[in-house]
């Protein structure tokens, strides 16, 4: 409220190629598809294995 933000949009984290996040997830073997951007995934697709929870927990919590 102090920031006076009127809209917040929450999305599932996307590991874009060339970013430190992408390289970290790739190095940890957590990407589901190495070249996901060539496969036409829709927005809010979980593209990596989360830490500390299952993929179903993440997507279920996002949808709730």
Q: Which residues contact 44 (CB under 8 A, 6 or more apart)?
A: 11, 12, 62
The residue-averaged pLDDT of 3-28 equals: 92
pTM here is 0.79
Choose among 17, 60, 10: nearest CA to 39: 17
Percent of the chain with pLDDT over 90: 64
Choose among 46, 49, 42, 10: nearest CA to 28: 49
The pLDDT score that the predictor gives to residue 56 is: 92
Tens digits of residue pLDDT in 29-58 = 999 999 999 998 888 899 999 999 999 999
User: What is the rounded CA–CA span in Å between residue 6 and residue 56?
Assistant: 30
């Amino acid at each position: 409220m102090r920031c006076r933000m009127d809209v917040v949009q929450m999305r599932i984290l996307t590991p874009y190629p060339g970013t430190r996040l992408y390289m970290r997830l790739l190095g940890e073997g957590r990407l589901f598809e190495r070249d996901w951007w060539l496969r036409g995934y829709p927005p809010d697709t979980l593209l990596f294995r989360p830490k500390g929870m299952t993929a179903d927990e993440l997507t279920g919590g996002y949808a709730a």
